[in-house]
Amino acid sequence: MHRAILLAALGLGAVAVAAVVVGPAMSRVEQPDFRIEKQDGDVEVRAYGPLIAAEAEVKGQRREAINEGFRLIAAYIFGANQPKAKIEMTAPVEQQKQKIAMTAPVTQQGGGARDGDESWTVRFIMPKAWTMETLPTPTDSRVRLEPIPPRRFLAIRFSGFAGDDTIREKTDELRRYAETHGLAIKGEPVLAFYDPPWTLPFMRRNEVMFELADGAAG
């Protein structure tokens, strides 16, 4: 009995060690560059340069939407394109809810929620080595390539499992921070997930980000 318990404990220990080693290795991929203009604990004001995203708009609840969007874009970078080129994986995977708003810029508009059916944009940022001219054309019309202009974001970083309650809590925290510090935010929050699903909770990197309106103080 004691031997079985010992072996089980050793087995769990080996799984934990493997997760510690493999998780960071899998997430050690290219990430978009940014400049930190201000840092206050887990909150940062960031400035990003121009980027290119491969993205897909999918409908459904948040978890099923990001899984479907991930599948579509992963297929694109693994060869579902012309001329079947391979593109390096990057981090994070970003997810953003889309809403129709009369005052929103065109880039923020999309399908609204109806009967619990929400519309989400899921995106990968393309590696810096590629340009709009050199990136292969997706063979699936649901995947599109979008140039993204320089932008500034208010971001909060956290570990653990990014469940809906935690995301809601961090989103509210970021809204309060923006209000307290006189920062004008716009659009829906961008959710960013950096790690494969087997990464141990305390080693995970998740973020909620709000784009800052033009001229917002840093």
Structure confidence at residue 193 as a pLDDT band (50, 70, 90): very high
Nearest to 175 by CA among 209, 215, 139, 148: 209
Which phi and psi (to 5°) does residue 201 adopt?
-55, -45
Structure confidence at residue 214 as a pLDDT band (50, 70, 90): confident
Residues 53-109 have pLDDT tens digits of 999 999 999 999 999 999 999 999 999 999 999 999 999 999 999 974 433 333 322
Judge whether residue 15 has pLDDT over 80. Answer: no
Nearest to 162 by CA among 187, 132, 191, 124: 191
Edge-first strand order for the sheet with 151-158 is 34-40, 43-48, 151-158, 206-212, 185-193, 93-97, 119-125, 51-59, 143-148
Percent of the chain residues topping a pLDDT of 90: 75
Say what the pLDDT of residue 215 is: 53
Residues 111-145 have pLDDT tens digits of 334 445 799 999 999 999 999 999 999 999 999 99
User: Which pair of tokens denotes residue 168?
Assistant: 């809601």
Judge whether residue 152 has pLDDT over 50. Answer: yes
Nearest to 68 by CA among 77, 79, 56: 56
Ramachandran category for residue 120: left, alpha or beta (phi over 0 → left; psi -120 to 50 → alpha): beta
Sign of CA dihedral 201, 173, 191, 96: positive
CA end-to-end distance (rounded Å), the chain: 61
Say what the pLDDT of residue 216 is: 52
Nearest to 164 by CA among 56, 57, 66, 69: 66
